[in-house]
Amino acid sequence: MKKDEFFNLMHSIPKAELHVHEEAVLSLNTIKKVYERSFGKSISSGELSSLFKYKDLSGFLDSFIKIQSYFTDINDLKFLFEDFADYLEDNNIVYCETFFSPTSHLKKGWDFSQMIGLVSKSIEKIQKERKRTVRLIIDVSRSFGLENAMHNLDLVLKEKSPYIIGIGLGGNEAKGPAQEFISVFEKARKNGLHVVAHAGEVCGSSSVDDAIEKLGAERIGHGISSCKDDALMKKIVERRIPMEICPTSNVFTRQLVTDLRKHPVRELYDRGAVVTINTDDPAFFKVSLIEEYWNIYYKLRFKLDDIKVLIENSFTSSFAEQKEIKKYLSDFEISWQKWFAEHPSLT
C-alpha cells in the first residue's frame, strides 16, 4: 500500500493512544504565545529551535522541563489542551490516556485542585465538541524523588477526580530505580488507582522486571530491553502485560536503539507480547501517531493484519470500562471493513 493510501486508511479509522505526555503536543505557536505572555518579549528563533535539539534522554527531559517553566499563569493550560484536542482529531484518536506532570507547576505555587479543575473543563470540552475521551495518568516521576512522588499521590487521592485513572512512574529511569517507589505504588493500588511505569527505556531488562514485580505495573512504558531476557519475555507474554512502544522516541533518545529498522518492536510482537503503538512526545520528536504506524508498516514490514491487531491492542489494553472497550472495538471493526469495501483493490 502506498503512503497516501495508508494515511487515508489511518485517518478513517478510530484509534486509541495510551502513552503520550500531554505537554508534548504543544505547537510552536503555543510555545511562542505562552513565552510572550510570561516574559513580555518574543522568543528568538534560535532559542525556540534549541528546545528541540538534544542528544539523549537527559537532554530531552531538560527541554521538557524548560518548556514547562514558560507556563507562569495557570490559565495557560487551556492553550495546551487546545493543541491536544487538535492532535487527537488530526490522528482520529477517540480514546487517550495521557500523562500529566504536575511537579514543575506545583513548585511554582500552583494549586493542584485548581489545575485539575481547569484540565477537567478542557477534557469535558474535548468530549463535547470533538467526541473524544481523555483520561489522566498523573506522573509521580523518578526525577524528583520518593517524597515528591508520595506528595503527588496524596494530592490525587484527595482530589478524587473522575478523570484521573492512575499514576505513572516517569522521569529518568537511570536515576530512580523502581524499588524506591514501592510504597507509593502500594498505596495507589490499595486506593483503586491503576499503575503504570516507564521501564526498559534506557536500562536493562531487570528494570522492567522490577516494575512488574515490585511496583505491580499493569502496563510497561517502552520496555524495549525486555527481549534480551527470555524469562522476562515469557512472563510478559503469559501474563499479557501490555507494552507501550514508542518507536520514534526510542530512536531519538538514542539509548537502546539508533535505527528504526532495528527497533525491537518487531521482535516483541513476533514473540507474542501485547504491543501497543504510541508517540510519547509527538511535538518533541516530530511524529504523529499515524506516522508511527506508517513507519513500522514501511520500515519494519508489519502487515496490515498486524496493524489491525496493534490498534485493537490499544483499546483492549486501556483502562476504559469493558463496555466502552467493546463499543470502541465494534466501531473500529466497522470503519476498517467499510474502508476496505470502498477500496477493494487494496484488500
201 in active site: yes
CA distance 171 to 247: 18
Contact by Cβ (8 Å): 181, 147? no
Enclosing H/E stretch for 132: none
Average of pLDDT values for 78-105?
Answer: 96
**265-283: pLDDT as tens digits:** 999 999 999 999 999 999 9
**How high does pLDDT run on average in the chain?**
95
CA distance 219 to 216: 9
Question: What residue spans of 93-195 are helical by DSSP H?
Answer: 103-106, 112-130, 145-159, 182-190
Angle made by CA atoms 257, 185, 66, in degrees to the nearest 5: 55
**18-68: pLDDT as tens digits:** 999 998 899 888 999 999 989 999 988 888 888 888 777 778 778 888 888
Percent of the chain topping pLDDT 70:
100
CA distance 7 to 297: 11
- Look at residue 201 and tell me whether its pLDDT is greater than 80: yes
How far lies 95's CA from each of 54, 133, 311, in Å?
30, 5, 12
What pLDDT is attached to residue 172? 84
**288-333: pLDDT as tens digits:** 999 999 999 999 999 999 999 999 999 999 999 999 999 999 999 9
**106-155: pLDDT as tens digits:** 999 999 999 999 999 999 999 999 999 999 999 999 989 999 999 999 99
Q: Which CATH number fits domain 16-322: 3.40.50.620, 3.40.50.10490, 3.40.50.880, 3.20.20.140?
A: 3.20.20.140
Contact by Cβ (8 Å): 79, 34? yes
Q: Of residues 23, 97, 173, 201, which has the active-site annotation?
A: 201
**CA 303, chain centre distance (Å):** 24
Average of pLDDT values for 229-244?
Answer: 98
Its pTM stands at 0.95
Mention every residue, 6+ apart, whose C-beta is less than 8 A from residue 150: 140, 183, 184, 187
